[in-house]
Structure 1
Amino acid sequence: MEDRRQWPLVVLTASPFHGHMSPTLQLATILHSKGFSIAIAHSKLNAPDPSNHPSDFTFLPLSDNLSTIDNSNSFTDFINALNTNCKPSFQEHLIRLITEGNKSIVVIYDNIMHFAGGVAVDLNLVPIVFRSCSAVYFPAFIVRQQLRQQGRYLEEDFVMQEMVPNHHPLRYKDLPFSSSSIEDFKKLGSNFSRQARPSVVIWNTIQSLEHEALTQINEHFQVPVFTLGPLHKMAPSPPTNFLEEDTSCINWLDKQAPKSVIYISFGSLVTLDAKVLAEMAWGLANSEQRFLWAVRPGSVCDSEWIEFLPKGFIEETRDQGLIVKWAPQREVLGHFAVGGFWSHCGWNSILECISEGVPMMCQPFTADQGVNARYVSYVWKIGLELECFERREIASMIRRVMVDEEGEEIRDRVHNMKGLVRQALDNGGTSHESLEDLVGFILSC
């Protein structure tokens, strides 16, 4: 019988962001199912609950000295503090694991937690970077870096609607972090240039969906790139929500007609302007389409929950829609009643949409979301991008997605793309084979 006690210990770092922690823990679950011992190094901020995971997972808390995710000032400063503060305790954990006799340790680190790659190199351990964003985001980020090195910045030097030369289909407005200050982006670029070189890159995606971008990524890193995705379809997903899910919305969906409900959610971090939300609300009402709206507490600064909604909206839409604080998103998207998803275009949300064959209405805010929305609407054509936040335009786009012939064509395309997911996950598919190759690589260490 094979002695798995000699297998490498896999240490994964999990950042405090829901969109990053979820796929990291999914990856941990997948590797555990393959027989590896797993340790999760995590920030104390938004720490995972060990009771949701196998009893033989080891949890290694990192001293981050942070009480909340603060993106009100400089998000880059927050990332810097996270990395600086977590590094010493991470190094201490690894040294202790080595002295306890773990002769072979592989470190898989979320790219936001880039300190872990440097610590792994310093201790002669194998560093593997895990990226939970889209592959198409990476070339766009490189373009932004190149512009920075030329001393050129989107906010000063470009017409945002113009196309980026040699980078079809991206416009300048689609490039990442267009809302960041110039100083903030300088610091971000500096961080990026100092990161340790990984031995392997893991990407949560489907090879056939992002083939061209993945080719560029291979050329950039010059190391193996394994496409494992969608991770949430490869193994049972442990609960990782930082907010309590309101499962009563499923009972409400059960009473609705097939594909009659548009689901709205902008993730765990986005904050919105109250005026924009008022236009969204009246756009929903005027569309006359049924809706399920997940409004996270704190979505609008200085508000507890939904007191910012315009007067009369709740009464007018009482029979049309349901508002909850947080929804079980994967279950919602897989429900027969859901016919569209109005989203911020985080990568996890897009993969979940594709996996369930649900058309999208895109409203990107920051980071990779602009790039993602551009590909969803312009390249893959499985959704429409909302660029005018006015109630009549919003109502029109909801109807285009939900009831017009255009929406039916989108639905057909995303249904076909759902087939790509099945192919990738089947025996012999690209995600299945990449997982086998990753297991082989870790064992070779």
Structure 2
Amino acid sequence: MEHSDTPHILAIPFPAEGHIKPMFNLAKLLSHRGHRITFVNTHHNHNRLLQFTDLPSFHTQFPDFLFASITDGIPSDDPRKGALLNYLPMLITPSARSLVAKEFRELFLRLLEKNGDRWQQPSCIIVDGLMSTIVMGVAQEFRIPVIAFRTYSATCTWVTIFMSKLAQEGAQLLRSNQGLENLLRNCDFPYPGGMRDLIVEETLAMTQASAIILNTFEQLEPSIITKLATIFPKVYSIGPIHTLCKTMITTNSNSSPHKDGRLRKEDRSCITWLDHQKAKSVLYVSFGTVVKLSHEQLMEFWHGLVNSLKTFLLVLQKDLIIQKNVPIELEIGTKERGFLVNWHLKKRFWPILLWEGF
């Protein structure tokens, strides 16, 4: 069988755009180096990803890259409208996570049965650290190595590991010593309750992985990467991954397939405006896909931005604004010194020399 010994890797991101895009880029890099990839999204994000992916062009460049999907644990008739934060509480419930783990196991068993002429059985799982419990049971049962992938810094990874161990062991230790009972409180931990519980559980499971891939590089965080090497047998700091994709993977400039893992249409209305700005003069401001602002929080920040008298590009999803009424002075100030877009443009269009700060 041709290529029968080629490794077959399952890649499973956490269902948030800031996690999907780095995992997608990592999967493309591995596919580019000859590995077979099955990229496992939730049904909802799978459909959104394919909507903005030119599949014929994509598979011409990555012929051994398959897409698969499983549930996110939320009922299929839920519209999942607006920012992720609107339905994140449903995603992280134990019942939802249990359904995700169940469907992942079913998918894995189907992939075992598909051991045909081209595709080997899965030989490795690369999983976002926040999805560790979803795959660990299957991996241990079938003795498949798991490599954890953290989409953010090594320092943040170390903090979540320390926080998780403290939540598991330290709080019990403090409560068991007279006089120290109130030294550590629930409110002292970052993240709200449900999300904190998820991070603690998933981070502790993540430490069982055979290796960890970090979206950073050695020179940036040397001491923390050394600390992580005391926990994981192998640590691969290969970031920034989007830069690796740009330098290692040659794309056809004459085609326009969307291959960066985006889940929404980009707003390029600011291109002409940016072309007329001076070098190092523009503040880039974005709240990402998860943050949900109250009207008061948004107005306070926006007033400060306008009153700074700096030129700015403000990326603000419409569905993150709870109330749509914007004071006239903000509209005027934004038109005079700034530009408002609904979603940021693709990185290849970012004129880096423009930015004064982020």
Same fold (TM over 0.5): yes
- CA gap 1:263/1:81 in 2 versus in 1, 3 angstroms: farther
Structure scoring higher RCO (CA < 8 A, sep ≥ 6) equals: 2
Deviation at 1:45, TM superposition (A): 2.3
Q: Name 2:327's counterpart in structure 1.
A: 310
Q: Name 1:113's counterpart in structure 2.
A: 131
- Give the Cα separation in 2 of the matches to 1:90 and 1:184: 21
Q: Name 2:158's counterpart in structure 1.
A: 139
Tell me which of 214, 223, 234 is aligned to 2:225: 214
Deviation at 1:326, TM superposition (A): 0.6
Return the TM-score normalized by structure 1.
Answer: 0.64
* Residue 337 in structure 1 maps to residue 336 in structure 2: no
- Give the Cα separation in 1 of the matches to 2:22 and 2:305: 31
- CA gap 1:78/1:117 in 2 versus in 1, 3 angstroms: same
Deviation at 1:240, TM superposition (A): 2.2
Q: Name 1:399's counterpart in structure 2.
A: none
Tell me if the contact between 1:107 and 1:117 (Cα under 8 Å) persists in the aligned partners. Answer: no
Deviation at 1:188, TM superposition (A): 4.3
CA RMSD of aligned residues (A): 2.9
Tell me which of 178, 185, 204 is aligned to 2:190: 178
Q: Name 1:275's counterpart in structure 2.
A: 296
Partner SS, residue 112 of structure 2: helix
**Residue identity opposite 1:150 in structure 2:** G
Deviations 1:405-442 (A, max 9, x none): xxxxxxxxxxxxxxxxxxxxxxxxxxxxxxxxxxxxxx
Deviation at 1:340, TM superposition (A): 1.4
- CA gap 1:43/1:110 in 2 versus in 1, 3 angstroms: same
- CA gap 1:338/1:81 in 2 versus in 1, 3 angstroms: farther
Tell me if the contact between 1:76 and 1:187 (Cα under 8 Å) persists in the aligned partners. Answer: no
**Residue identity opposite 2:190 in structure 1:** S
- Give the Cα separation in 2 of the matches to 1:251 and 1:106: 46
Partner SS, residue 292 of structure 1: strand
Q: Which runs of 5+ in 2 are unaligned?
A: 176-181, 247-257
Aligned-pair identity (%)? 24
Return the TM-score normalized by structure 2.
Answer: 0.79
* Residue 51 in structure 1 maps to residue 54 in structure 2: yes
Deviation at 1:103, TM superposition (A): 4.2
Q: Name 1:91's counterpart in structure 2.
A: 105
Tell me if the contact between 1:76 and 1:188 (Cα under 8 Å) persists in the aligned partners. Answer: no
Residue pairs, 1:39-78, within 5 angstroms: 39-47=38-46, 48-49=49-50, 51=54, 53-54=58-59, 56=63, 57-66=65-74, 67=78, 68=80, 71=85, 75=89, 78=92
Deviation at 1:92, TM superposition (A): 2.0
Deviation at 1:54, TM superposition (A): 2.6
- Give the Cα separation in 2 of the matches to 1:273 and 1:211: 38
Tell me if the contact between 1:44 and 1:64 (Cα under 8 Å) persists in the aligned partners. Answer: yes
**Residue identity opposite 1:62 in structure 2:** I
Residue pairs, 1:316-335, within 5 angstroms: 316-328=333-345, 330-331=347-348, 333-335=350-352
Q: Name 1:426's counterpart in structure 2.
A: none
Tell me which of 305, 313, 326 is aligned to 1:284: 305
**Residue identity opposite 2:141 in structure 1:** D
- Give the Cα separation in 2 of the matches to 1:103 and 1:316: 58
- CA gap 1:274/1:70 in 2 versus in 1, 3 angstroms: same
Q: Name 2:31's counterpart in structure 1.
A: 32
- Give the Cα separation in 1 of the matches to 2:197 and 2:352: 44
- Give the Cα separation in 2 of the matches to 1:107 and 1:309: 47
**Residue identity opposite 1:300 in structure 2:** I
- Give the Cα separation in 1 of the matches to 2:339 and 2:228: 42
Partner SS, residue 27 of structure 1: helix
Q: Which runs of 5+ in 1 are unaligned?
A: 160-171, 342-445
Deviation at 1:205, TM superposition (A): 0.8
- CA gap 1:265/1:109 in 2 versus in 1, 3 angstroms: same
Partner SS, residue 256 of structure 1: coil
Q: Name 1:205's counterpart in structure 2.
A: 216
- CA gap 1:190/1:10 in 2 versus in 1, 3 angstroms: closer
- CA gap 1:17/1:92 in 2 versus in 1, 3 angstroms: same
- CA gap 1:122/1:260 in 2 versus in 1, 3 angstroms: same
